[in-house]
Amino acid sequence: MEQKIIPIILCGGKGTRLWPLSRQSYPKQFLALHGDKNKSLLQQTQERISFLEGITEPIIICNEEHRFLVAEQMRDINVKPKAIILENEGKNTAPAIALGAIKALEEEQEDPLLLILSADHIIRDLNVFSKVLQKGCKSALENNLVTFGIIPNRPETGYGYIESEFVLDKNNIKGSRIKRFIEKPNKELAQKLVKSNKYTWNSGMFVFKNSLIIKELNKHAPLVLRYCKKAIGSSVRDLDFIRIDGDSFSKSPNIPIDIAVMEKTNLGLVLPLDAGWSDIGNWESLWDNEKKDSFGNVIKGKVFNEGSTDCYIKSENSLLVTLGLKDLILVETSDAILAANKNELNKIKTVLNKLEKKGYTEVNTHRKIYRPWGSYTSLIENEKWLVKSIEVNPGSKLSLQMHHHRTEHWIVVKGTAQVELDNRSFVLSENQSTFIPLGSKHRLSNPGKIDLTLIEIQSGDYIGEDDIVRFKDDYGRIND
């Protein structure tokens, strides 16, 4: 019988080190940052493992805020996950993996292998990746907890390291027992580690038997397993999602799987991997992995460059003209610009924390906000009015709702809109408009086969997104 392999894709994280492209509302795993410009890092993660014999649909662990992004991106590549498990808060990798393992135990009568992957990695050499992954699965069937150590090519301070008992190189993929995990080192220690062939970067990828990881969690991190079992045991299904019991999950220790299990078990095995791996952790690593011009620049968007070298320059909207820059990251979006020296990128989280304390919403949210029915973009706003562009997917509809503090004008600029307003229902075509009075029940939907685009003008004494009373919603939302 073919051995089943269940991917567990860890899809949490804010990706703040890639601000302003990556933000809490739309972090890096959902962006097409590398490779196929039409596929996000999450989608690429799923597609690169589709070759494995016995591979099943994935179990995806994500933040509740991103549930519709995950579902939509999986639908775009024709994948229906076994489960999308929603975390009410981030608790690091050990609880996330425990949730996936417990759910997999419910799904399968046999004892499958679990392939643990992060949603935000890139792999350039899929042929090598395939061979090492198959070797890892074989080793996992021999009752090993297998992780993949990336053969380092520089003294990197942004990754953790794994010390193995034996020398590892790309021509010897038998692997080695793990001696210890090392947290992100300083530059001096990193230089020492890369000189030895016993140290690899910690990739955060694993493969092991479902029963074995649960056994080792019970042995080495019993509180993690206990509270994750309670969280899954009291979970409820909501459309495509599994809503765990948040109170139970919040009691789980916040701990990575490396510390919870891999440092303590005697079953850990590290296999060397040299397949062009990167976790795209910051702008410099993205620059390092992208195709450059003859002067070492990565240039994307509406950019005119004269005399700059070794820069990452990206413009999403405005014409960006650069003259004589060196070793800079320059990124323009619709509402924020980052201009940073590569040597200062380690300070970006500190800067964002300061901006958040000062009340800058651009730290966490984009102007364009995605919803299960489509998206909206804030174009211009004042204290008492706001202009939005709203995009509604074919066949989708917003909730039946009412506002206490604002009125709305809708102007259709593309497609067809079905409008429910109090006890009336009517259709608007391009260049037609309607007015939504204060306190009226209303609903917008797209009955057509093309995207619906309309301009919405809000006016009132309060225009916050929380001024919504929902009466009916196809997506089970209450307050979001």
3-state secondary structure the chain: CCCCEEEEEECCCCCHHHCCCCECCECHHHCCCCCCCCCCHHHHHHHCCCCCCCECCCEEEEEHHHHHHHHHHHHHCCCCCCEEEEECCCCCHHHHHHHHHHHHHHHCCCCCEEEEEECCCEECCHHHHHHHHHHHHHHHCCCCEEEEEECCCCCCCCCCEEEECCCCECCECCCEEEEEEECCCCHHHHHHHHCCCCEEEEEEEEEEEHHHHHHHHHHHCHHHHHHHHHHHHCCEEECCEEECCHHHHHCCCCCCHHHHHHCCCCCEEEEEECCCEECCCCHHHHHHHCCCCCCCCEEEEEEEEECCECCEEEEEEEEEEEECCECEEEEECCCCEEEEEHHHHHHHHHHHHHHHHCCCHHHCCCCEEEECCEEEEEEEECCCEEEEEEEECCCCECCEEECCCEEEEEEEEECCEEEEECCEEEEECCCCEEEECCCCCEEEECCCCCCEEEEEEEEECCCCCCCCEEEECCCCCCCC
In tens, the pLDDT along 274-295 reads 999 988 888 988 998 899 999 9
**Same domain assignment for residues 385 and 454:** yes
**Same domain assignment for residues 351 and 379:** no
Instruction: Using the predicted structure, report yes or no on whether residue 37 has a pLDDT greater than 80.
Output: no
**Same domain assignment for residues 319 and 250:** no
**Same domain assignment for residues 198 and 245:** yes
Which of 217, 250, 278 delimits the end of a domain? 278
In tens, the pLDDT along 167-218 reads 777 776 678 899 989 988 888 898 888 888 889 999 999 999 999 999 999 9
Domain span holding position 427: 368-472
Q: How many domains does the chain have?
A: 3
In a domain, 247, yes or no: yes
**Same domain assignment for residues 228 and 267:** yes
In tens, the pLDDT along 213-272 reads 999 999 999 999 999 999 999 999 887 899 999 999 999 999 999 999 999 999 999 999
Report pLDDT for 441.
Answer: 96
pTM for the model stands at 0.89
**Same domain assignment for residues 10 and 113:** yes
Average pLDDT value for residue range 161-165: 89
**Same domain assignment for residues 465 and 324:** no
Instruction: Using the predicted structure, report yes or no on whether residue 152 has a pLDDT greater than 80.
Output: yes
CATH of the domain at 214: 3.90.550.10
**Same domain assignment for residues 317 and 383:** no
Report pLDDT for 479.
Answer: 53
**Same domain assignment for residues 73 and 211:** yes
Which of 335, 357, 379 delimits the end of a domain? 357
CATH of the domain at 440: 2.60.120.10
Instruction: Using the predicted structure, report yes or no on whether residue 367 has a pLDDT greater than 90.
Output: no
